[in-house]
Amino acid sequence: MAEFGPTVLRVVRAVLGPADADDAWSETFLAALRAYPQLPAGANVEAWLVTIAHRKAVDVTRAAARHAVPVADPPETGAEADLPDLDLVAAVAALPPKQRQAVAYHYLTGLPYAEIAEILGGSADAARRAAADGIAALRRTIGANR
């Protein structure tokens, strides 16, 4: 399970933003530890962890909506070459939730769309379409900014 720590952190950062990512990561792994003894042998641990992380992220987003926490200023643009691409980070944050989730789960973990459909609900085709729409939107946003 430890080997997926970095991947899950990447995913929750993409889905939630950096502020809530640490808490979501911690809650994901605590929940996984609680449930681990019941996990069937041979299960896909990565998909299972992303599923838990998805639920935690949804919880965090709902709680944030209830408490109407002010959102931080959008990150500055014009990053140096060796810094993360802040345009892209902001563009991911601006995607509709389902597209952002589909993009994160597929492109940051490599999970197949069938697994992502299990996590998001709906069909594998719908998950593939959400990811494709998300990527197209990212290309448009980034193209427009450069």
The stretch among 47-55, 61-69, 81-89, 114-122 that binds other proteins (CB under 8 A) is 81-89
| Least distance (Å) between residue 115 CB and other proteins | 18
The stretch among 3-11, 48-56, 62-70, 113-121 that binds other proteins (CB under 8 A) is 3-11
Residue of 63, 59, 48 whose CA lies nearest to 118: 48
What is the distance between the alpha carbons of residues 85 and 100, in angstroms, rounded to a whole number?
Answer: 16
What is the distance between the alpha carbons of residues 16 and 137, in angstroms, rounded to a whole number?
Answer: 18
The stretch among 5-13, 52-60, 65-73, 120-128 that binds other proteins (CB under 8 A) is 5-13
Distances (CA, A) of 94 to 3, 14, 32, 42, 128: 30, 11, 29, 37, 19
Residue 134's H or E segment, with its range, is helix 124-145
**101-140 residues near other proteins, rule: CB under 8 A:** 103, 107-108, 135, 138
| Least distance (Å) between residue 4 CB and other proteins | 10
With CB under 8 A as the contact rule, the residue among 19, 30, 63, 69 that binds other proteins is 30
Does position 33 interact with other proteins (CB under 8 A)? The reply is yes
Token digits of residue 115 = 């697994």
| Least distance (Å) between residue 137 CB and other proteins | 11
Q: How many residues bind other proteins (CB under 8 A)?
A: 28
Are 41 and 142 within 8 A, CB to CB?
A: no
